[in-house]
Chain A
Amino acid sequence: MQTASDFRQRSEEALGNPQIRRNFRFAMDGLMAKRRAGLSDPREREQLRTQCAGIRVNALSKLPELLEQLEGNCTRNGIQVHWAESVDEANNIVLEIMRQHDATRMIKGKSMVSEEMELNHFLEDHDIECLESDLGEYIVQLAGETPSHIIAPAIHKNRHEIAELFRQKFPDIPFEEDPEKLARSAREILREKFYKADVGLSGVNFAVAETGTLCLVENEGNGRMCTTVPPVHIAVTGIEKVVEQLSDIPPLLNLLVRSATGQHISTYFNMISSPRKPGEKDGPQEVHLVLPDNERSRIYEDDELINTLRCIRCGACMNHCPVYGRIGGHAYGSTIPGPIGSVVEPQKIGLDTLGELPTASTLCGACGEVCPVRIPLPDLLNRLRYEGVRNNNDGKVKGQSEQRKGTEAWIWKSWSWLHVQPMLYRLAMRTATRLRSLMPRKLGPWTDVRRPPRIAARTLHELAREKGFDNA
C-alpha cells in the first residue's frame, strides 16, 4: 500500500516532469471541452443534477433496506450474493469461488473496487492469472503501474510511450504508434484470453434493488465479454452502489456518461439480472455479487461525510481540478485520485497516512460545480482538514487528529488570540504599517516566484476613521 505521507515529494516530481504535465493538460482540456459540449444546455444540466442527486440521496437514506431487497431479488434470480466487511474478506471470497471451479485464469473488466482490493496482487500471489481487459487498464497493467484516472486509467501516457511499451512486451508484433492500431493489437492479444478465461470479473455502476439488476457502463465491449463469455462471472461493487428502482437508471446513465466523456450515451449499457437460464445458449452459468463494506458503513454514520457515498465515479471532479490537472493521478498515492479521492481515500485508509490529501486543494470549487450528484466536495475537504487536526478525538473518522502538529496549532491559537481582541489587533496592524520598511524581502517559497506583498502606509481602520465611516 502506498501512502501519501510523501505526497508533496510525488507532486513536485510530477510538476518537474514536462511529459506528464503535457499528457494530463492535454487530456483534461479534452475532457472538459467534451463535457461542456455534451451538457451545453444549463437548464437541462442543472435539472438533471438535481434529479440525480435526489436519486442518490434517496438510495442512501434507505441503504440497508435496499441492500436487503437487492440481495433478495438477486438470490431469487440466481445471483449469489456475498458480503465482505473488509478488503481481505472480499479477496478471499473471490479466491474461494475461483477454487471451487479449479479456475486459474481470470479476465477482468474495469473495476475501481477491485483496485481498492488490490485483487490482482492477491490472486497472483495465489497463482491465478489475472488479466485486465479494459484497454487503459491493460496498458497500465503491462507497465506495472496503477491507474492515474478513474475512467481513463492510462491517461498519463501518450501514444509514443504506449507504443514503446508494446514493443518491449510484444517484440513480435509490428511497431505502431497510431492509437487505432495499438487498440487493434490489444484486441488481437486479448481475444483468445476472453474465451480461455475461467472466470470473468467486473465492477458494477448501479445495482437496482427493485429488480436485482447489475448495470455496467462501457464503450469497449470488454465488460460484456467478461460478463458473458467465461462460465463464471463475479461482480464486485461497494455497498453504496445500490439504487432503489429501475426508473432511477435512465437519468443516472444519461448524466454519468455526459459528465464523464460528453458522449450522449456510452456504446454499451449492460444490464444483468441472472445467470444463464435453462435453454439459453450463452452467458455465465454462475453469477456472483461481492459487496465489500471496507469502511463505507463508518462513513455512512456521519450526516455530512455520508455524501461521499453518493459518488457515481464519473471522474468529472478530477478532470476539472486545477491541482489534479497539474500533478496527475499518481501523485495522490491513493486508489482514487483527485478531489473525490482526497475525500474518500483518507476516510478509508485513515487520516494518519492520507491526511495530507484534503489539503491538496485550493477549495476553488471547480469540482463541486461539475459533480453530477452535487456532492459538496469543497465542504467535505474542509471537514476532513478539521478531522485531521482537531484536538478532541471522537473516534469517528479513521486516523483523526493525526495531522495536528504542535507549531501549527500554536500559530492558529495565537492568531485567534490576537483576532478576538480588537484593540490589540488595531495596535498590531498599526505597528505593522509603521514598520513596513522592515518587511523581509524573502518570504520562503512564496517569493521564489512572486514579489513580496507591500504593507500599506496606514491601516484601514485609520482611513475609515479619517473619512468618518468608523462607528466609534
Chain B
Amino acid sequence: MHNARDNILNRLRRQRPEFPPQDEPASMDEGNETTLQQRIEAFTEKLRSVRAEVHLTTEQDWCHKLQELCRKKELDNLLYGNQGPLAEAMEKHWNSDDSTPRLVTLNETIESWKEPLFNDIAAAVTSVRTGIAQVGTLVLWPTLEEPRTYSLVPPVHFAVLHADKLYNTFAEVVEEEAWQEGMPTNALLISGPSKSADIEQTLSYGVHGPTELVALLVS
C-alpha cells in the first residue's frame, strides 16, 4: 500500500494549513511544592474515591499485610513474579509463616498459561514503578518478570508502591523520568478497579479487568 502512503502525504503537503495565531495558555502556578505527606494523602484519597483499597504499610510489614488481606479475601492462590522485585521478601515471609495462599508463578509465555490465567488465578501481585498523587494513579511498566496480564486478568490486583516514588502529576512523571528517551513495550496508568458506566450511567465495577484493586503503599 505504498501508493496510499504517498498519495495521502502528498495531499497533506499540497496546501500547508494556516492557523490564526493561537493564545498562549496562562501559566498555572500550581502551588507545586507539595510535601511527601501531602502527596500520600492526596493519592490515598483519590484512589479510594474510585473504590480501590489503599493500605499504608512499611518495608518490614507489607508482606504480612499482603498475606493477611489475601486470607481475609479468602483467595486460594496469588500470582507473583518469582524473579521480580517482590519475590525475595515474599518468599522469605511465606516460608517463615504457613504458606497460604499458595504462591503461583507462570513461566514460559502466555501461550502456555492463558487458560489457567483466566480460569484459575485468584489474584496477582505486582510492583509499581511510581504513583501520581493528584489523580490517585499507579504507574506500571510491566516487565519480563511481572508481565502485562498480571495486572489485568486476575480478579484481584495487589500493587506494591514505594511512597518515596510518588509524583504530583503525570506531566512530572513524563518529564522527570524522561520517558521520551525510551518507552517500554507497554506503559500503564491504573486508577482503580475496572468499571463501566455504559448502563444508565450507573457505575459497575469489575467489568473486564480486576474487580478489586488493592494498593500497598510502603513507606
Which residues of A are in contact with B by a Cβ distance under 8 Å?
23, 26-27, 30-31, 43-44, 46-48, 50-51, 53-54, 57, 60-61, 63-64, 67-68, 71, 82-85, 89, 93, 133-136, 139, 152-155, 157-159, 162, 179-180, 182-184, 186-187, 190-192, 194-195, 210-213, 219-222, 224-225, 228-229, 231, 239, 245-247, 249-251, 253-254, 261, 263-277, 279-283, 291, 293, 297-298, 300-301, 303, 306
A306 surroundings in chain B (CB, below 8 A): 17, 19
Contact partner of B209 (CB less than 8 A), chosen from A46, A212, A220, A303, is: A220
State how many angstroms separate the Cβ of B148 from the closest Cβ of chain A: 5
Which B1-36 residues sit within 8 Å CB-CB of chain A?
1, 4-5, 7-9, 11-19, 22-26, 28
Shortest Cβ gap from A4 to chain B (Å): 26
| 24 A-B interface contacts by CB (under 8 A) | A26-B200, A57-B19, A67-B8, A135-B199, A183-B204, A183-B207, A187-B206, A191-B118, A194-B208, A195-B114, A219-B197, A220-B207, A225-B208, A228-B148, A229-B114, A239-B12, A246-B183, A247-B180, A253-B170, A266-B191, A280-B185, A283-B147, A283-B186, A300-B17
| Given known A267-B191, A274-B185, contact A31–B201 (CB-CB < 8 A) | yes
Tell yes or no: B44 within 8 A of A by CB. no
Size range of the chain B interface in the assembly? 35 or more
A-contacting residues, B168-194, CB 8 Å:
169-171, 174-175, 179-180, 183-194
Q: Are A246 and B174 in contact, with the CB atoms below 8 A?
A: yes
Flag whether B108 is at the interface (Cβ < 8 A). Answer: yes
- How far is B200's CA from A26's CA once the two chains are assembled, in angstroms? 8
Across the two chains, which residue of chain A brings its CB closest to B11? A297
Of chain A, the residue at the smallest CB distance from B189 is: A269
- Given A61-B19, A153-B198, A272-B185: A280 touches B208 (CB 8 Å cut-off): no
Contact A229 B187 (CB under 8 A): no
Residues of chain B within 8 A of A183, CB atoms compared: 196, 198-199, 204, 206-207
Known: A139-B198, A273-B183. A221 touches B204 (CB 8 A): no
Q: A229-B149, A281-B147 are in contact. List 18 more A-B contacts (CB 8 A).
A: A54-B23, A60-B17, A82-B1, A135-B196, A136-B196, A136-B198, A152-B198, A154-B198, A194-B118, A221-B194, A225-B153, A229-B110, A247-B180, A251-B171, A264-B134, A271-B188, A272-B186, A297-B11
B86 at the interface (CB under 8 A from A): no
Q: In the bound complex, how far is the Cα of B117 from the Cα of A105, in angstroms?
A: 20
Residue from the list B25, B148, B209 in contact with A54, Cβ < 8 A: B25
Task: Report chain B residues within 8 Å CB of A89.
Answer: 1, 4
Interface majority SS (helix, strand, loop, mixed), chain B = loop
Q: Is the CB of A276 within 8 A of B12?
A: no
Indicate if B130 sits at the interface (CB-CB under 8 A). no
A281 in complex: contacting residue of B18, B28, B110, CB < 8 Å: B110
Quick check: B193 and A267 within 8 Å, CB to CB?
yes
What 0/1 pattern do residues 92 to 122 of B give for CB contact below 8 A with A?
A: 0000000000000010111100110110000
Q: Are the C-beta atoms of B188 and A83 separated by less than 8 Å?
A: no
Identify the closest chain A residue to B180 (Cβ). Answer: A246
Pairwise interchain contact A64-B9, C-beta atoms closer than 8 A: yes
Within the complex, the shortest CB–CB distance from A309 to chain B, in Å, comes to: 9
Contact for A264 among B4, B14, B46, CB less than 8 A: B46
- The 5 tightest CB contacts between A and B, nearest first, are A221-B209, A136-B198, A183-B204, A269-B189, A179-B199
Does the CB pair A84–B106 fall under 8 Å?
no
Please determine whether B28 and A47 come into contact, CB atoms closer than 8 angstroms: yes
Find B170's partner among A190, A194, A250, A280 (CB 8 Å cutoff).
Answer: A250
Q: Which residue of A lies closest to B188 (CB)?
A: A270
Q: How far is the CB of B122 from chain A (nearest CB, A)?
A: 15
Residues of B within 8 A of A194 (CB): 118, 208
Contact A220 B195 (CB under 8 A): yes
Q: Which of A47, A48, A191, A228 has the most CB of B within 10 A?
A: A228
Q: Whole-angstrom distance between the alpha carbons of A237 and B78 in the complex?
A: 37
Q: Which chain A residues border B7 with CB–CB below 8 Å?
A: 85
Chain B residue with Cβ nearest A265: B135
Contact B9 A249, beta carbon cutoff 8 Å: no
For the complex formed, measure the closest distance between the CB of B9 and the CB atoms of chain A, giving whole angstroms.
5
Q: How far is the CA of A92 from the CA of B179 in the complex (A)?
A: 35
Bound complex: CA A155 to CA B8 (Å): 36
B148 touches A303 (CB 8 A): no
B3 nearest CB neighbor, chain A only: A85
Min Cβ gap A152→B in Å is 6
**B-side contacts of A63, CB under 8 Å:** 12
Contact between B208 and A187 (Cβ–Cβ < 8 Å)? yes
Return the chain B residue nearest A78 by Cβ: B185
Give the chain A neighbours of B194 by CB distance below 8 A: 219-221, 267-268
Assess A85 versus B4: contact at CB under 8 Å? Given A64-B9, A213-B183, A268-B188.
yes
Q: How far is the CA of A351 from the CA of B9 in the complex (A)?
A: 25
Asked if B50 CB lies within 8 Å of chain A CBs, one says yes
